[in-house]
Chain A
Amino acid sequence: MDPAQNKLLENLLEACARRDQGAFARLYEVTAPKLFGVAVRILRREDWAEEVLQDCYVSIWNNAGRYSVGLSAPMTWMTSIVRNRCLDWLRRPNLEVVLQRPDDDGDDPLEAIASGAPGPLDDLARSADAKALAACLGRLEAKQRQAIMLAFYDGLSHSELASHMRQPLGTVKTWVRRGLEKLKGCLGSA
């Protein structure tokens, strides 16, 4: 996200904190497609994603005053709200989420990388902020990267990762843990 866009979102959030309805509508207009994309990807059902998105924007409006510019970028703050709510949603009882998982979807980020087709990592590399992250992800072992991306983009739990990657639970947990450690080290030294 470029600095100008960042500044725009900061200003809009600040205006929302002052109960500026116009700013809220504008904030929605600018950010909803991105955040809806995040929710649809994790939840894999547009009706659920719609509900979650509504919850999140109501939350964003109600809590705009708590957003703190110094702490995180506006899009990071809002994305975290959406991802957390999606993850909480997936934890609801009696969900038949397991029915549809990444393998029945042609949009697997790993396949996209393997095939050289444009995928999330390529898009990521285009965003100035995220270049370091893309580079560091690229340096992970393939399995570690795959586990982390499936968890992040598709909201897979450890056990879902294990069954999706056809590996023992312990192995997958280790991949995730080591991958995250390496990522932190790599980003820290970048």
Chain B
Amino acid sequence: MRYRNKPALQDRLAAEYVLGTLRGRARLRFQAWMREDAQLRRAVTEWEQRLAPMAAGLKEVAPPRRVWQGIETRLGAPATARAIPAAAPAQPAAAAKAGGFWESVTFWRGWGLIATGCAAALIAALALQKPQVVEVPVEKLVESTGMQPSYIAILRNKAGKAVFVAYAGRKSDELWVKRIGLEAEPPDHRFELWGLYGKEGAAPRLLGMLPKDDKATIKLAGVADDSLRDFPALAITVEPAQGSGGSPTGPVVASGDCFKFW
């Protein structure tokens, strides 16, 4: 990493991150480094301590009552009567009721909440994480299975276990999906599959509702070369039975890189 062992540069970036002038891709990259680098996190905390007192000077504004009501609703009524501590891997049903999509996304970020924010930003951050090295002996696979040039995604749950695979031939508009240990949907909920763009700020694209069968196909909007090409990663969220309507609302239960190989 370019910034390792360059404390002066690290400190400068930490300062600009906390001040808020580190934006766009640089901010996302910085957030990714923070996840891996304790020294950088320390520098950020120090800058937070230096600058946060500025906020003490701001005038207070009483939020309307509906804000608290919204919080209560999101944490599940009655307000905070949630049995599952945040630190434990949340059950999908509880998480759907309790934390919602963004809270569960924070889980994927390994540590804390420094950067939690809007859907697109988080999901982009997720997509920009270092891809896991998956050694697929492509030639052998093609040889033994007759697999055609294609897109493949391997999605992992919060524990890092692969629980879901998806495959589409590049000229096909059918995405073959298989659950390999994915927990069942919570009652009255469905899973939805999303394509995550690699570029910053882009909202995830709904690929479709997951059929409940272990093995199934999802009809893509077009052939995979068009409909999957832009997604370096896919994710599955818990959504209401009638569907999310196009923007993720529930927690992420699995996510992973989407590879193209031929």
Interface residues of A (CB under 8 A from B): 1, 19, 21, 24-25, 28, 32-34, 36-38, 40-42, 49-50, 53-55, 57-59, 61-66, 71-73, 75-77, 79-81, 83-85, 87-89, 91-93, 109, 119-124, 127, 129-130, 133, 137, 148-149, 151-153, 155-158, 161, 176-177, 180-181, 183-184, 187
In the bound complex, residues from chain B placing their C-beta under 8 Å from that of A24 are: 79-80
In the bound complex, residues from chain A placing their C-beta under 8 Å from that of B98 are: 62
Interface residues of B (CB under 8 A from A): 11-12, 15-16, 18-21, 23-24, 27, 45, 48-64, 66-68, 70-71, 74-75, 78-82, 85-87, 98-100, 102-103, 106, 111-118, 120-122, 200-203
In the bound complex, residues from chain A placing their C-beta under 8 Å from that of B55 are: 34, 38, 75, 79, 83, 152
The listed residue (A37, A71, A80) touching B114 by CB distance below 8 A is A80
Residues B57 and A123 in contact, CB atoms below 8 Å apart: yes
In the bound complex, residues from chain B placing their C-beta under 8 Å from that of A77 are: 48
The listed residue (A34, A54, A66) touching B71 by CB distance below 8 A is A54
Q: Complex: how many Å from CA A130 to CA B52?
A: 9
Q: A122-B57, A133-B54 are known contacts; what are 14 more A-B pairs with Cβ within 8 Å?
A: A32-B63, A33-B62, A36-B67, A62-B86, A63-B86, A66-B113, A76-B53, A91-B23, A124-B53, A124-B57, A127-B56, A152-B54, A156-B20, A158-B23
Residues A87 and B20 in contact, CB atoms below 8 Å apart: yes
Residues B45 and A21 in contact, CB atoms below 8 Å apart: no
The listed residue (A37, A53, A93) touching B58 by CB distance below 8 A is A37
Q: Complex: how many Å from CA A41 to CA B87?
A: 32
In the bound complex, residues from chain A placing their C-beta under 8 Å from that of B64 are: 50
Residues A65 and B53 in contact, CB atoms below 8 Å apart: no
- B65 to chain A minimum Cβ distance, whole angstroms, is 11
In the bound complex, residues from chain A placing their C-beta under 8 Å from that of B54 are: 120, 124, 130, 133, 137, 149, 152-153
Residues A133 and B53 in contact, CB atoms below 8 Å apart: yes
The listed residue (A21, A59, A79, A89) touching B106 by CB distance below 8 A is A59
Q: Complex: how many Å from CA A60 to CA B187?
A: 28
The listed residue (B61, B82, B114, B121) touching A92 by CB distance below 8 A is B121
In the bound complex, residues from chain B placing their C-beta under 8 Å from that of A80 are: 18, 48, 52, 114
In the bound complex, residues from chain A placing their C-beta under 8 Å from that of B45 are: 71-72
The listed residue (A33, A55, A176) touching B60 by CB distance below 8 A is A33
Residues A58 and B100 in contact, CB atoms below 8 Å apart: yes
Residues B58 and A19 in contact, CB atoms below 8 Å apart: no
